[in-house]
Chains A and B, each alone.
Chain A
Amino acid sequence: MTRRDASPHRLDRALVWDGFKALLPLSLFVIVFGVAFGLAATQARLGDLEIVLMSTLVFAGASQFAALELWGPQVPFFTLLVTVFAINARHLLMGATLYPWLEPLSPARRYAIMLVASDANWAMAMQAFGSGRPGLGLLLGGGIALWGFWVLGTWLGLNIGGAVRDPASLGLDMVMGCFLLAMVVGGEKNLRMLLIWSVAAGASLLAFYYLPENSHVVVGAIAGGLVGLAWGKRE
């Protein structure tokens, strides 16, 4: 194998297809989550076109659910945008952590790949990079799978909405929470990370109770980040 073939930033059609297939099992859950979103959005009185358009263009489940909370005949525009930004600010970190592997690509490809960056495919790509395997196929192919099934699930949610009267009674409101937790627990585990998570959780809860709504995500993240900065990892 040549050096170029072994490089982790390699990207070709076969790798993208492999990435697509690697994220397929998880995509089944994304469909369920999309159905839950489609249902919730119908209940929030969004039109069918708007709901599908939101999933297609925004493609960020947590922030879309948050938007529904603020939705009504009148929408508090700036509050909504700040909330969406706060929840999706983690994408900034994804882009930053991915940068070393995106750098060799042309800017067009770099930004095109980032269109479909989200939690699951980012986590799997980083895992691959961490063990020296190519990860951009997972990022792009996996992202296309997640995006496609997210839109499909949303659309299904609109159409089979009548079948599920109460998503919470079936545990469907926990899809996002359980998914995010699985990502956290599946990551690096040591005393340092445990302290970082504890501080993040504590700061998040304090902000949740005492600071303006939706600030807890950013506050907890920054608090945890500062602990990571203070307690540098010895490599």
Chain B
Amino acid sequence: MSLETGGLGALFVILAMALVTLATRWGGVFVMSFVPIGYRVRQFIHAMSGSVLVALLAPLAVTGDTGARLALLTTAVIMLTLKKPLPAIAGGILVAALCRQLLPAVG
């Protein structure tokens, strides 16, 4: 099913997106208030919560250009050494920018 985004169509789509997102924000808490959190469930959720981020990142690293890959590498290295997210993120972005400015043919 496709929706026209002219007129109120776009607002309707955005409202639906907001409701779906709200359901994800409230859903976990809501379910937990009925089902007790067992040890196994906690193990699963804990492993899953880190895995979501990795799963988002993996294709980004594989399909990204040289700038993107070096940016992620830089962030990982700075994060491992300094353990501070701010310099790690800034370093990554800086490397991506430099890479794309200086190596346009490679990037």
Most chain B CB inside 10 Å of its own CB: which residue of A91, A171, A184, A232: A171
Instruction: Report how far A208 CA is from B101 CA in the complex, Å.
Output: 29
Instruction: Report how far A205 CA is from B86 CA in the complex, Å.
Output: 28
Instruction: Report how far A227 CA is from B40 CA in the complex, Å.
Output: 12
Total number of A residues with any Cβ neighbor in B under 8 Å: 98
A177 neighbours in B (Cβ, 8 Å): 57, 60-61, 64, 68, 71-72, 75, 92
Q: How far is the CB of A73 from chain B (nearest CB, A)?
A: 6
Other-chain contact of B58, A50, A71, A216 (Cβ < 8 Å) = A216
Instruction: Report how far A230 CA is from B99 CA in the complex, Å.
Output: 41
Other-chain contact of B25, A95, A199, A219 (Cβ < 8 Å) = A95
Report, as a range, how many residues of chain B touch the other chain: 35 or more
Contact A77 B2 (CB under 8 A): yes
Q: Which 6 interchain pairs have the tightest Cβ spacing? A: A228-B47, A224-B51, A220-B55, A95-B28, A225-B48, A171-B96
A96 neighbours in B (Cβ, 8 Å): 28-29, 31-32, 37, 41, 45
Q: Interface of chain B, helix or strand or loop or mixed?
A: helix
Contact A196 B58 (CB under 8 A): no
Sample 8 A-B pairs with CB under 8 A, ordered by A number.
Answer: A77-B13, A90-B24, A173-B68, A182-B89, A187-B50, A204-B56, A228-B43, A228-B44
Instruction: Report how far A187 CA is from B39 CA in the complex, Å.
Output: 20
Other-chain contact of B45, A91, A97, A170 (Cβ < 8 Å) = A97
Contact A179/B85 with A96-B32, A196-B50, A228-B46 known, Cβ cut-off 8 Å: yes
Known: A64-B17, A90-B49, A223-B51. 13 other contacts (CB 8 A): A26-B85, A81-B20, A91-B28, A95-B26, A95-B30, A97-B45, A179-B85, A181-B79, A200-B55, A204-B55, A208-B58, A216-B55, A216-B58
Contact A224 B55 (CB under 8 A): yes
Which A176-223 residues have a C-beta within 8 angstroms of B?
177-188, 193, 196-197, 199-205, 208, 216-223
Q: How far is the CB of A170 from chain B (nearest CB, A)?
A: 5
Q: How far is the CB of B91 from chain A (nearest CB, A)?
A: 8
Which A residues lie at the B interface, using CB under 8 A? 25-26, 29, 46-47, 50, 53-54, 57-60, 62-64, 67, 71-78, 80-81, 84-85, 87-100, 102-103, 107, 110-111, 114-115, 117, 119, 168-175, 177-188, 193, 196-197, 199-205, 208, 216-229, 232-233
Contact A171 B95 (CB under 8 A): yes
Contact A182 B52 (CB under 8 A): no
Contact A89 B24 (CB under 8 A): yes
Contact B45 A73 (CB under 8 A): no
